[in-house]
Amino acid sequence: MLHKVSIAGLTIDPTSNTPIVVLKSDEDDRTVPIWIGLLEATSIAAVLQDIKFDRPMTHDLFKNFVTLHDMSVSGVEVVDIRNNTFYARINFICRDGNFSMDARPSDAIALALRFKAPIYVEDKIFDQPVPGKGKTEILDHSEEGKKWAEYLKNLSPDKFGKV
């Protein structure tokens, strides 16, 4: 069964310096932390804080492409976790019918926010143990990566609503 969720916040894992998006059930206090990449965290944070860039980021570019082809995103679903890896699905609406695509949860969430589409989590995801340390994406050690890590580290949880 799918449960509608909201983004409760973005944070940094202090052990690995990897961003985490926290999804919270709209029905109760259950949460799901998902370790994500730095660029995806930045993309999500940009929408949450209504930050506009001079040039489109990758998720903005994809939204523009989808819209140009008379399609939309009706919702995204985090549907599975296997070997500490989350799996998601993006549901599209188009004039020739609806279809779904496999996606990383971070990309699916970034697109859902841009389309103002709902985000859902499969029931079994809430029952899974939190993925262990050491199974996260590698931190970007470039100067640009350090800049975005610092930006995310300084984000305040009150920017995203109540946890």
Residue 63 belongs to domain with CATH number: 3.10.690.10
2-55: pLDDT as tens digits:
999 999 999 998 888 899 999 999 999 999 999 999 999 999 999 999 998 899
Write out the two tokens for 112. 């859902």
Q: Does residue 136 lie in a domain region? A: no
Rounded to whole angstroms, the Cα distance separating 90 from 16 reads 28
Q: In angstroms, what CA-CA distances link 106 with 93, 115, 142, 158?
A: 20, 14, 21, 21
Least confident interval from 50-64, 66-80, 92-106, 134-148: 134-148
- This prediction has a pTM of 0.79
Q: Please give the residue range of the domain that contains residue 54.
A: 2-129+141-157
Number of domains in the chain: 1
Q: Does residue 84 lie in a domain region? A: yes
